[in-house]
Amino acid sequence: MAYDISNFTTDVIERSYEIPVLVDFWAAWCGPCRTLGPVLERLAEEEEGFADARWVLAKVDTETFPDEATQYGVRGIPNVKLFVDGNVVDEFTGALPESTVRSWLDKALPTPESSRITEARELIDEGEFETGLEILQEVMEAEPANQLPRLMAAQVLLLEDPERGEELVQNIHADSELFDQAEIVRVMAALDRYVKNPESLLESEVKSLFLEAATATREGDFDKGIEKFIDVIREDRYYADDFSRKACIAIFRLLGNENEITRKYRRTFDGALYV
């Protein structure tokens, strides 16, 4: 029942390898801390009543542990961080209502399948796509409401089977934090359809250029694909329902802001939109 810690390494880091540790960074002079503290303690007591408790609470006074607060980037309190296997996996700042904290915990706490998702990600990063997909499929069956394994599988299938990938992300909507990544999959699936069914495109002076861009992107030549899509934007911005703009944004998101192709074309793309 005692939630105040005496040793951060033992009571938080090492303990988090046994069970997730919810750390409440607080101080006695902090008014919002006095509001949130009892909420967290009440939820912790409730959790202790279960034989298979999902988490434990550790209260860390920032006046007593200033170095740890600095190390973990605590800039405002109350600051709540969830430690799992020695690392912060999620956090929030401020005195939230109890119902919001409950919802946050349900989302942030690792599920029985979390380790399997991590395993799948590591396999995919190593190029073991088939094995990674098999694990993701098992997770999807065990947790059908979990959107992450669906997105991960769709990303693996991005170029090989974009239609299947699109099916996997069909229920990831705008209110999901995974929406932007799901949009990449949807754009790539639409691009694949254009390449396979060029007759679906309206006849235009930019049609051949558009198909050249789509084909290059479909084959993984993102440099050429973006260059040609930007050419289409300059000639006919709204051809194929403004798809060239959508395709460029999807490629930038796929590659990331620091990728050399993104850095090479981002400013040119922005400029083409306002010609």
Q: Helical H runs in the chain?
A: 8, 31-48, 66-71, 98-108, 114-125, 129-142, 147-156, 162-168, 179-196, 207-218, 222-236, 243-255, 260-272
The structure tokens listed for 137 are 């499929």
Peptide bond into 144 cis (omega under 30): no
**Quick one: which of 160, 8, 142, 3 has its CA closest to 83?**
8
Please identify which of the residues 30, 77, 96, 151 carries the catalytic annotation: 30
Please identify which of the residues 22, 23, 33, 36 carries the catalytic annotation: 33
Is 248 a catalytic site residue? no
Is 30 a catalytic site residue? yes
Residue 35 CA to residue 96 CA, distance in Å, equals 9
Residue 2 CA to residue 37 CA, distance in Å, equals 13
> Catalytic site residues?
30, 33
